Amino acid sequence: MRPSRIATVAAAWLLAALAIAPPAFALDAAAPAASSADWRPPVQKILRDVRRIPAPPGIDETRAVRIGGIDQWISVRGKDRRNPILLFIHGGPASTEMPVSWLYQSGWEDYFTVVQWDQRGAGKTYVANDPARTEPTLAKDRMVADGEELVAWLRTTYGKQKIFVLGHSWGSIIGLELARKHPDWLHAYIGMGQMIYGRDNERLGYEWALQAARADHNDKAVAQLLAIAPYPRADGSVSVDQIITQRTWVIHYGGLTWGRPDFDYAQDAAKFSPEYTRQELNPENGIGESLPRLLPAMMAWDVRGVTRLDCPVFIFAGRHDYETPSALAETWLAALQAPRKGLVQFDKSAHMMELEEPGKVLVHLVNDVRPIAEDAGDVSDVEPPRRLRRLL
């Protein structure tokens, strides 16, 4: 039996309030289906045309790949197939990045072949499979294995010995496991909103939200946060209801997107996604099944004892991030031994730096990350990123 699907009301709460890495797909439930048919297709057509990539030398594919016994959907976009591959592993669980990637990804596509992946139980992959069969398979180890299969497929299909992997929020668990298990497959690993220790992740976000609510004299927020104390519980666990409450107030005070009390701007942008149908944007897709099954693994996650990785590692850290507090990742990185490592701090961002400071993300991907592939000869003949560095 499904875990109550968290019920329709709870699913709406999760979509609007949880945002561990926020689900950005909610459509206006009050709008008649017929009206959506009037405005979405023309807008999508315009965006498809604006984003069109000539092939060859470029690549623009949205397709299903058989991974872990089910069809899992990816988009593959880049201006030159010879560029290195960058796999973006989205957060959540079940919060796919593909619907909002059109806001920030075009610049990346000059220097990388960018792969967006809708994970098991999320987005287009959710719709493509029977949820009753997929739901029992939602587990951290299974999804890490999915990531391994996908990276192996990308390397074989596109003739790349190594790729870049960027893990965001929940996706940073999968990404870091790939870096631990297969460093020889990666040019480098980039952790964005990197999760290090589940208990402290939740505790620090809770304490910050409570402090902000008290400073704001927000009696409602203070009462709701105190009602879920101790957070986490003594055994290190949290319930779905508790994490919804914590995230509601973390988001309200800008711990998800700095200076914004909600995620409406990205949820609205997702409605225009050139890749997604209305069915695939359904706010009930995936999160209600994924979170209850994956939350225990997220809380048990602890890589403080991982002191060595055999591939280059970068941490992109939002100074105002209290979904995955950056201090934990910065401390971990300082003690880590790796062939190369780097920390990029985003002073005007919280958790969603690719949306909050997209230009800065691009500059650091090009100047700091891509030269690793350039040194390995895995690049096209576009103007070298190092020239951009000199101009800046």
Identify the structural domains of the chain with CATH numbers, from first to last.
4-391 (3.40.50.1820)
Which pLDDT band holds residue 23 (cuts at 50, 70, 90)?
Answer: very low
Chain centre distance of CA 293: 18
Mean pLDDT of the chain: 88
pLDDT at 284: 67
Could you tell me the CA-to-CA distances from 178 to 112, 126, 143, 166, 171 in Å, in that order? Answer: 19, 23, 11, 10, 11
User: What's the rounded Cα separation, in Å, for the pair 275 and 78?
Assistant: 15
Per-residue model confidence as pLDDT tens digits over 148-200: 999 999 999 999 999 999 999 999 999 999 999 999 999 999 999 999 999 99
What's the pLDDT band for 283 if we cut at 50, 70, 90? low
* Residue of 348, 392, 389 lying closest to 366 (CA atoms): 389
Residues 17-28 have a mean pLDDT of 41
Per the structure block, which two tokens stand in for 353? Answer: 């730096």
Q: Model's pTM, two decimal places?
A: 0.89
32, 70, 168 from 24: Cα distances, Å? 20, 24, 14
